[in-house]
A and B are shown apart, each in its own frame.
Chain A
């Protein structure tokens, strides 16, 4: 799986959009970008994933650059409950990709009231 680089921490004001960047310059053509988050004292939670097109679901939007070397997770209206560590993970999505996830240290997002 390709390596990812994320800032260790970020702040965002409540109600504003939180934009979390991730660099994955060595991503391969068959690797997807996944985002998980981990709220304090809980297990990680899946947020969203994508290959090359931008994706949106009820939790967030994922913007992947055209060269796929970086991506941004967007939480459109951050709330205090979005305070968590956010992990960007790159992995293949075939049968062989259904093994363990490789987590980095992630970005600790703190939503300020």
Chain B
């Protein structure tokens, strides 16, 4: 299966520590998205890339959050000085743009569950 993969699947960290998550998209997909999902809520869009360019980052939750996609393939999401409120599922998705099907289905990974103690 060559779907979207995310690592690690689970991360427990202490408040104040930095954490980094990795997302590997479907290989031919040029767009990559990050979302956050808290308990009982739908996913919340954070940022996205087309190739290595970050096209939207105004929705990152604070300046403690940053994302990179240096070679247009995998991406990392970093949270600095974690807080208990950062505990959530962090989801990555990828898509092909433009799409020969003329729609933009996003393929999601399984997510990284972050617990800040």
Interface residues in chain A, defined as those with a beta carbon under 8 Å from any beta carbon in chain B: 32, 41-46, 49, 85, 87, 93, 95, 97-106
For chain B, the count of residues having a C-beta within 8 Å of the partner chain is 31
Q: How far is the CA of A98 from the CA of B99 in the complex (A)?
A: 10
| Contact call B95/A98, Cβ cutoff below 8 A | yes
B27-48 at interface with A (beta carbon < 8 Å): 31, 33, 35, 40-48
**What 12 additional pairs, Cβ within 8 angstroms, besides A44-B106, A44-B108, A105-B40?**
A42-B110, A44-B93, A45-B108, A87-B42, A93-B102, A93-B103, A97-B104, A98-B31, A98-B97, A99-B56, A100-B46, A102-B45
Q: Which residue of B lies closest to A100 (CB)?
A: B45
| Contact call B41/A101, Cβ cutoff below 8 A | no
10 A–B contacts, CB within 8 A, in A order: A43-B108, A44-B91, A45-B108, A46-B107, A87-B42, A95-B98, A100-B48, A101-B45, A103-B41, A105-B42
Q: Per a CB cutoff under 8 Å, which of B35, B41, B104 touches A98?
A: B104
| Contact call A46/B105, Cβ cutoff below 8 A | yes
Interface of A is mostly: loop
B66-107 at interface with A (beta carbon < 8 Å): 91, 93, 95, 97-98, 102-107
